[in-house]
Chains A and B, each alone.
Chain A
Amino acid sequence: EAGVTQFPSHSVIEKGQTVTLRCDPISGHDNLYWYRRVMGKEIKFLLHFVKESKQDESGMPNNRFLAERTGGTYSTLKVQPAELEDSGVYFCASSRPDRGQAFTEAFFGQGTRLTVV
């Protein structure tokens, strides 16, 4: 079974430009999450999809960030326009549908390292 994959693995862009990150979750995983880690800090939740619906986007920093999940499959996270403080590692994670089990393991991708200069 293929794991969670993210593209690109690295991106260096100039302030004011647009960047789109992509995440392909594990097949059959309805839940998809985006997280971000700014250097040396904690991994912070950005948002959660169930299939194509946004369930919780309370962690999105501001309206320069837009996440979509087309047809409940892959997801994109667009930053437009990028600012210096957007630099960090963006992780995507997915997990199986909730069937009332006590705990659902989330599987993470390798992350996209975004550097805004």
Chain B
Amino acid sequence: DQQVKQNSPSLSVQEGRISILNCDYTNSMFDYFLWYKKYPAEGPTFLISISSIKDKNEDGRFTVFLNKSAKHLSLHIVPSQPGDSAVYFCAAEKRGSTLGRLYFGRGTQLTVWP
């Protein structure tokens, strides 16, 4: 069963506007949530993370929000740039189980157009 879900396979946003990518999870034992970014023919690269005890983490143009009661997180990119066009994967990690094992969603293809 899929424990991390990204229900939007694609998102198209104009340059300069905000991109909001969503992710839902089912397992309340997750300790960390991460976003990875993937360009074609490359591996995923880490973008930003948030601990389950926080509700927000910000890094430059990227902010991740966590709503534990709703088991929902989102990634905000402001302002969006054409170079942000990539597949974004939401992932989660459980400490206490296999160290570093990540549970991924299916990804959301973000396209930022000029």
Interface residues of A (CB under 8 A from B): 4, 9, 31, 33, 35, 40-45, 48, 50, 55-56, 58, 91, 93, 95, 98, 102-111
Contact = CB atoms under 8 A, between A and B. Distances in A.
Nearest 7 Cβ contacts at the A-B interface: A108-B43, A56-B98, A43-B104, A42-B104, A42-B106, A108-B44, A110-B43
13 contacts: A33-B102, A35-B104, A42-B89, A43-B89, A45-B102, A45-B103, A50-B99, A55-B98, A98-B99, A102-B51, A103-B49, A106-B100, A107-B46
Q: How large is the interface on B (under 10, 10 to 19, 20 to 34, 35 or more residues)?
A: 20 to 34
B99 A55 contact: yes
Nearest to A41: B106
B101 interface: yes
A93 B102 CA distance: 11
A91 B105 CA distance: 15
B104 A44 contact: yes
A77 B98 CA distance: 19
A4 B42 CA distance: 11
B43 A111 contact: yes
Interface in B85-114: 89, 91, 93, 98-107
Interface in B44-86: 44-46, 49, 51
Contacts of A31: 99-100
A95 B100 contact: yes
Contacts of B103: 45
Given A40-B106, A102-B51, A103-B49, A45 B101 contact: yes
A52 B52 CA distance: 31
Interface string B1-18: 010100001000000000
A45 B100 CA distance: 10
Contacts of B43: 4, 91, 93, 108-111
